Amino acid sequence: MKKYDADYVSNIIAGVEKRNPGEPEFHQAVKEVLTSIEKVIEARPDYVDAGIVERIVEPERFVQFRVAWVDDKGEVQVNRGYRCQFNSAIGPYKGGIRLHPSVNASIIKFLGFEQIFKNSLTGLPMGGGKGGSDFDPKGKSDGEVMRFCQAFMNELYRHIGADTDVPAGDIGTGSREIGYMFGQYKKITNEFTGVLTGKALPSGGSLARPEATGFGLCYFTDEMLKAAGRSFEGAKVVISGSGNVATFAAVKATTLGGKVIAMSDSSGYIVDENGVDIDLVMNIKKNRSARISEYVNTHKDAKFIPDCRAIWTVPCDIALPCATQNELDAAGAKALVKNGAFAVAEGANMPSTPEAIEIFKENKILFAPAKASNAGGVATSGLEMSQNSLRLSWSFEEVDSRLHGIMVNIFKNASEAAEKYGAKGDLVVGANIAGFTKVADAMLWQGIM
């Protein structure tokens, strides 16, 4: 029988590093979760006996496949596709599809691993998964994107299903890409089912799904701020990114009384002290190839700085990193602290490096970790699945109010779990523990597999 000792967790982390060489993002995500749930593992010998931790860090299934398609010049292009079905203890695998040149096995595994705990936190019955490809939709014609998505689905369809694995959007995968993938799945299987979320409304999509991650982020942040006697009211807000999550976070932060003064894309950031014109940003970025620098053509008081990582040097009260992993490092964290920021809430997945999180802790900055604060997107995907099963569609207000309730609950559960394990106010610890225990209990109940 296995026993817990001081080296138990570090040995498992070392094992993950050895079995998954050259996958730094995956190692980072595993380390962050395991080190913060140590107290639970120590207190639960039944988890140790059943090898819960050793099993939870190993994907149940990891598929890699060739995606061959023909571009507009008639030339054959080959990309690599992935689907990681990480954990199905509490429901069908669920997680987005990322289309970006940086996609590799490490990125997909880190995202799939995070998704397990995030989905658990929503309180909905969804397991964890993630997929994607190194295909870059930027600069591609509609026809090329369609042919790629169809080719991608020609393999993916074997592995997914409304009760098996339900993918959704992520970086590079919006409504257009989901539409092409959904059409191809329907064509191949001759089935109209809720196999993907983020669908357009006439095909069974949910109202408020596009808004959900950004809105949910602000609902969560609002709870965190209230608990600390603060609010969005009158706060200067800096948001990285200008895609789905960033733009809807900007809309909600403004509704809650904040003033968004800076946003970015991978080419740089804009600062507009008058308050960013969010409709204009959305309009510019409708075209995936467009650059945010276009903003200053019509807003002469605004400035464009061609260095996306430097956005954190813009003095603000609240920072919402909503672009990509590891975009907020120690230098960014130090700049935020120096300029008096009081809260950081993650919209993107793992946007803050471990060093940055340490700096926030040391300086008592309120910090909302992604798996809690950006869970609104997948939660609303869960609500889309419910509507599809019921053959019903709810109003925007109904979905938004359920989303709000879910985010309030996630905050409550994460705060309570942190307090229970002696880490009051530490939402990283609280979110990891609350997400982990539900999945661990389900794995325990289902036996060794």
Sites of contact with ligand NDP (CB under 6 A)? 169-172, 213, 240-246, 264-267, 285, 308, 322-324, 327, 347-349, 374, 377
The count of C-alpha atoms lying within 13 angstroms of the C-alpha of 251, restricted to the half-sphere facing its C-beta, is: 17
Instruction: Name the residue nearer to ligand NDP (CB basis): 105 or 423.
Output: 105
The verdict on whether 303 is a catalytic residue reads: no
d(CA 32, CA 112): 14
In this structure, are strands 236-240 and 259-265 parallel, antiparallel, or unpaired? parallel
Identify residue 251 by its one-letter amino acid code: V
Quote the radius of gyration of the chain (alpha carbons, Å). Answer: 21
Smallest separation (angstroms) from ligand NDP to the CB of 110: 10
Collapsing DSSP to helix, strand or coil, 113 comes out as: helix
Contact 112, 86 (CB under 8 A): yes
Smallest separation (angstroms) from ligand NDP to the CB of 187: 25
Q: Is 281 exposed, middle or buried (0-12, 13-18, 19+ CB in 10 A)?
A: buried
Smallest separation (angstroms) from ligand NDP to the CB of 375: 8
Residues with Cβ within 8 Å of residue 325, at least 6 apart in sequence: 25, 107, 110, 348, 349, 350, 351
d(CA 14, CA 415): 30
From 118, 130, 199, 259, active-site residue:
130
d(CA 415, CA 195): 34
Instruction: Name the residue nearer to ligand NDP (CB basis): 52 or 97.
Output: 97
Contact 99, 177 (CB under 8 A): yes
Instruction: Name the residue nearer to ligand NDP (CB basis): 41 or 99.
Output: 99
Instruction: Name the residue nearer to ligand NDP (CB basis): 89 or 270.
Output: 270
Instruction: Name the residue nearer to ligand NDP (CB basis): 32 or 38.
Output: 32
Smallest separation (angstroms) from ligand NDP to the CB of 213: 4
**Nearest residue (beta carbon) to ligand NDP:** 243
Identify residue 64 by its one-letter amino acid code: Q
Smallest separation (angstroms) from ligand NDP to the CB of 10: 28
Collapsing DSSP to helix, strand or coil, 318 comes out as: strand
Tell me which residues are annotated as active site.
130
